Every structure is written in structure tokens, then in C-alpha cells.
Amino acid sequence: MKGNISSLLIMLSAAMLNGACGGNNTASNVDTPGTEKSGKDKALETAADLIQDKSPLKAFNVYLDGFHFYNGNINAQMEAHHYVQQLSDDLYQAIIFDGNGKDAKIMGVEYIVTEKLFRTLPAEEKMLWHSHHHEVKSGTLIAPGIPEKAEYQLMEKLVKTYGKTIHTWHTDQERSLPVGAPMVMMGFTKDGQLKPGLIEDRDKRFHISTAEKKESRKSIPNYVVDPLANAWEQGHIRQFVIGHKADSARHKH
């Protein structure tokens, strides 16, 4: 294991020296509302950037690109740029953006757990989570900018993980502000569900082939997905509902 970690670090270091990053090629879906930042605000930002520590943000050091859909509406699909922090060998957290440039908007968050932790969740909780098995095996989940071998090793682990994803800004719907209820998101589980145009557009921007990645990942072992994950496939939809105060008060009694 130690040898594998060392070789992975060497590959990632080489990628950094070669300038590989796989970013800054996808603009945000919406323009930023409001007037342009003032000179005073820009000066304060510059000073804060130099003086303040950003330790929590620095820990988000892995970039994954994939696709989501709204739980209960598989036709509402979008690309999601994940910036991931690994908290332990079994738990990750990610900030999700609608692009990978400076203008990117935070769409939401995703928590990722291994099969080991997923087994400990109660049945109702599991229904909020989606598996990553198909995303990995289909080649639609990628880690832009890192060497193929390093990406393959990362996918070997992610293939047995589950994600719980909440979007708070629905920029795919051309909303200039983060309005509306947060939405539980899901991941794709079969070929033919994800719109080909989304894949083609992503592949062109990153100069990759999802089909080739799918072929190269055939050697990643399959596994049996927990039947309570991807609950939408059985018609069990879980979503946020914005209720009236009267409704909330009634539920307390």
C-alpha cells in the first residue's frame, strides 16, 4: 500500500510540474447579479487574501467532474464540478460549482462515504443517497488534469462509494439568484440516461473521450449496489418541501 501511495504522489507531482490542471475551461451558467465590485471591496479582498488563513478551503484538493439530476426529474440534468476534501479513509466532503473558472457559482455540497460507512446508515437515510458505481464504470466521472494511472486508482476506490448531494443554487434553470427550495440530487445508474449532448460538450472542453475511459475501466471490479440507494429507481422520491408556518405549527402537536 505504501508503494502505491508513493507512486501516486510521484505521478501527481509530475502533473503539477507539467502544468496539468484540467480547469478554467467551463464558465458559470449565470451572470453575477448586482453592480460591479468597488475599488474599495477589491482592495479589501486583496488584503484579506494576503493576511487571512484559508485552511478549510486549502484542504479541498481533488477536482472531480460529473453529472447530476434532480431527484424525481431525470430529464433535468447538469454538469457538476466537485472540489473534494478527504476527511478520513471512508468519508469525503465536496463543494459543487457550476463551472471551474473564477466566475463559478456554488451549486451545493456532496458528502461521500465508502460502502463500510453506508452499511451503518438507517434504511430511510439510505434513500437519500446515490451510488457511484455506474458513474465510475461508464467513464462519466473524471478527475481532470491528473495522469490516467492516478485517475484509475482514484476511481478504483470511488466505485464503491455513495453520495448524498444537495443543490442550493439551480443555475441550470437560468436563475440569477439562489432562490427556491434546496433539491436532493441523484447520479445516473445506467447507460442511456445521461443526455449525449452533455457528455459531448464536456469531452470537447477537457479534450477527453468518455468512451475510452469507459473501456479502460472495464477492469475495475463490479460490486452489488445496496438496494436502498438510488431509491428513485423504485419510485421512492425524497425532496425538500417548503411549507407554510401554519403547517409547521400543526406538525409540532
Q: What is the 3-state secondary structure (H, E, C) of the chain?
A: CHHHHHHHHHHHHHHHHCCCCCCCCCCCCCCCCCCCCCHHHHHHHHHHHHHCCCHHHHCCCEEEEEEEEECCEEEEEEEEEEEEEEEECCEEEEEEECCCCCCCCEEEEEEEEEHHHHCCCCHHHHCCCEECHHHHHCCCCECCCCCHHHHHHHHHHHCCEEEEEEECCCHHHCCCCCCCCCEEEECCCCCCCCCHHHHHHHHHHHCCCHHHHHHHCCCCCCCCCCCCCCHHHHCCCCCCCCCCHHHHHHHCC
Q: What is the pLDDT at residue 242?
A: 83
Q: What is the pLDDT of residue 40?
A: 83
What is the pLDDT at residue 196? 98
φ, ψ dihedrals at 64, nearest 5°: -120, 140
- Contact, 98 vs 104, CB < 8 A? yes
What is the mean pLDDT of each successive set of 10 residues along the chain, which is 253 residues long?
Answer: 47 48 88 84 81 92 97 98 97 98 96 98 98 98 96 97 98 90 97 98 98 98 96 96 66 50
pLDDT at residue 19, rounded to an integer:
43
Is this prediction's pTM over 0.85?
yes
